[in-house]
Amino acid sequence: VNICQEIRDRRRRQYLRRRRAFLLSSIAAILSLITSTNRPVWVRNRTAGQNFWATAESFDDDQWKAQFRVSRATFDYLVELIGPAIKRRRTNYRVPIEPRRRLAITLWWFARSGEYRSIADMFGVGIATVCIIVRQVTVAIVERLYRRFVSLPSGQRLDDTIRGFRQRRYPQCAGAIGGTHIPIAPPRDNPEHYLNRRGWHSVILQAVVDHDVRQGNNIFWCQRVFQKSLLSDGVEIPLHLIGDASFPLKPWLMKGYGEPHQLSPEQRRFTFALASARSVVDAAFTRLKGRWRCLLKKSDIDVSMMPRVVAACCVLHNVCQQRGDGFLPEWSFETDPSGNYLVQPETEEYEGDAYCTAEVIRHAITYDLLAVLQS
């Protein structure tokens, strides 16, 4: 009898424990629905940052552009383009950070490459959240907009580019090519592979720039698409890019003559005309880095992520150029008295050129430049 009673008591205790656990879980579920957006365990109160963002929304156009490096109209345009890709679902635990604030956080980081802690305080989010948002929005910009806004010219835009360089006194030019070093923190793996001649770690951005200082990047495109040619004294002059001494001389890539003290007057004129037309490269890099200063100094972004950061900045540069969203003089890092920016390595001259078809084309342009410009 005692054994049976003990068994019944044990079963009753087990039943009561299960019933209590069920009731507690039901109550917890109900409370989570009622208080899903007001849980101090999950959401930290960041009044200062929230006030800054609320204040930012009331900025006038000049204040907005000074803070985020783009006009409010361009900002709204970007939200329209990538908003669906950076929007997050609402959950039972918290309200998601809206796309506008996500884009603002990323543009702020691009413009200043500031510490995540200070950005987190300003925008009312967590430090880890800033890091995640910058990566997510960067990827969205590249995946959604890169092919649309970063390309070499074709069709009417190609005709406009040729005409624009012709007005700069250089003929048959479809773009100017150049490169610049982007500082990075020393990578964990093979850091010596990223050391440049100045002794600091970098990745290289190589870009093709049109007459309007927009950037493209696919240099192989020119070999199969540049088909418009001119004849000068029996020599066919194809459309081509122009570069500096670090590039090889090719039929689709012209550069100036070396050893200036040994040049003929015609060769000096050609070299000067090409260098003057190619100055758009320096202007583009100045605007790119001046607007998006994350490209000017080392950041803690992993080297594997840097190509996307650079690509996203190029997209934003081209969007601003296309929309007439001007570059402000105070953004130029070259005139910034407080800027301790790294000096670019000197250009290493390419020495593999030999007499070839490209030299014949350059010679024809050199000694018949005015006629080619007028044709």
Region of 113 on the Ramachandran plot (φ > 0 left; ψ -120 to 50 alpha; else beta): left
Structure tokens at 314: 């190029």
At residue 224, the pLDDT reads 41
Q: Taking the model in full, what pTM does it have?
A: 0.81
292 has pLDDT over 50: yes
Residue 231, beta-bridge partner list:
236
Q: φ, ψ for residue 202 (rounded to 5)?
A: -160, 160
At residue 175, the pLDDT reads 94
362 has pLDDT over 90: yes
Buried (b) or exposed (e) across 318-339, using 16+ Cβ within 10 A? bbbbeeebebeeebebeeeeee
At residue 352, the pLDDT reads 83
More confident residue, 57 or 133: 133
Closest alpha carbon to 125 in 171, 153, 94: 94
Query: pLDDT tens for residues 201-240?
Result: 999 999 999 987 665 543 333 444 455 677 777 789 999 9
255 has pLDDT over 50: yes
Rounded Cα distance between 301 and 299, Å, is 5
* Percent of the chain residues past pLDDT 70, beyond the cut: 82
* Percent of the chain residues past pLDDT 90, beyond the cut: 57
Q: Is 204 helix (H, G, I), strand (E, B) or coil?
A: strand
Q: For residue 372, how many other CB atoms are within 10 A of its CB?
A: 21
- For the segment 263-280, the average pLDDT, to the nearest whole number, is 94
Q: Is 238 helix (H, G, I), strand (E, B) or coil?
A: strand
Query: pLDDT tens for residues 158-196?
Result: 999 999 999 999 999 999 999 999 999 999 999 999 999
Residue whose structure tokens are 């995540």: 116
To the nearest whole number, what is the mean pLDDT of the chain? 84
36 has pLDDT over 50: no
Which segment of 21-30, 66-75, 156-165 scores lowest on mean pLDDT? 21-30
Q: Is 80 exposed, middle or buried (0-12, 13-18, 19+ CB in 10 A)?
A: exposed
Work out the pLDDT band at 96, boundaries 50, 70, 90.
confident
337 has pLDDT over 60: no
